[in-house]
Structure 1
Amino acid sequence: MLWRRHIEPFTRPLVYAWFRWKRGLTLGVRGLVTDGEGRVLLVQHTYIPGWYMPGGGVERGETAELALERELQEEAGVRVLARPVLQSVHSNETHHPRDHVLVYRVTAWEPCQASAQGEIHAVGWFAPDALPDTISPATRRRISEALDGIDSDVMW
């Protein structure tokens, strides 16, 4: 499924045009999921390179927290057991006009069956001081902000 990475640069303008027409403002969620050892959950998508916190878009009629729970279950096989804590809010204007991303901390969870088919290439747990070299810069910043107590940047 990594062929998606080759077509993504060509399909991105169409997807963004669809979102702008359909949504006006877009909202995404990302989950900073940690385990008992303090490791961070990251995923690799089939359509873009690098490691990211799991998450995705908030659909019409869906709360941000429900979107987060859905995305974590779909992408990473994580069932949220307690209300996630809003960590930070970011503008993603540099990548997608009128887009915002909410980052939530998730510490109470249990494993379940992931249901995404063809979207996720790999799922991994990483110590915060041993993150993969191919982690996205924004993901690295969000993890550092949350775990090191650094003020969060309003820009993604």
Structure 2
Amino acid sequence: MTTWRTRIEPFTRPLFFTASRLSRGMTLGVRGVATDTQGRVLLVKHTYLHGWWLPGGGVDRGETTQAAVVRELREEAGLIARSEPRLLSVHSNERFFRGDHVLVFAVDAFDLTDRTSHGEIAEIGWFAPDALPEDTTRATRARLAEVFDGAPADPNW
């Protein structure tokens, strides 16, 4: 599903990045890997980006990376972590945005409730790691191959 936000995102992205760069010297993001009892992984589809992604987002000033991934999972998917997020990997996202880094965490125990963010997420889905939607992003596929298939962690996002 293509929304107006998806169509304008390529034009608004430079403005967002400029504002981010002016307010921070480096950006830091988190993504969360959560699997249900059937071994399916949680993915989200944003209203402003194409494809399926691991849920996550930016780390706010004064916030730990663990707190950020817990917050993002709650906001985007209604997932409430019952265990401390476990760091899986760290990646440089220089290809997409200079100075950006992404940390990937596993959340091993959680409850599900209503999400708190509205307007940002178009869809939420649980998928078998070997049967991901066709439009799953390249980086998401790479991270899941590292987690589920034992592929070596790529330092680049």
Q: Shared topology, TM-score over 0.5?
A: yes
Give the CA deviation at 1:147. Answer: 1.1
Q: Which runs of 5+ in 2 are unaligned?
A: none
Show the counterpart of 1:36: 37
TM-score by length of 2: 0.97
Output the CA distance in 1 between the equivalents of 2:30 and 2:118: 20
Show the counterpart of 1:123: 124
Q: What letter matches 1:91 in structure 2?
A: S
SS in 2 for 1:128: coil
Aligned-pair identity (%):
54
Show the counterpart of 2:155: 154
Output the CA distance in 2 between the equivalents of 1:150 and 1:84: 21
Give the CA deviation at 1:117. Answer: 1.1
Output the CA distance in 1 between the equivalents of 2:98 and 2:120: 24
Output the CA distance in 1 between the equivalents of 2:104 and 2:148: 13
Output the CA distance in 1 between the equivalents of 2:116 and 2:89: 27
Show the counterpart of 1:81: 82
Give the CA deviation at 1:7. Answer: 1.0
Task: Summarize the alignment of residues 63-142 of structure 1 with structure 2, pairs less than 5 Å apart.
Answer: 63-142=64-143
Give the CA deviation at 1:74. Answer: 0.4
Q: Which runs of 5+ in 1 are unaligned?
A: none
Give the CA deviation at 1:104. Answer: 0.4
TM-score by length of 1: 0.98
Give the CA deviation at 1:118. Answer: 0.4
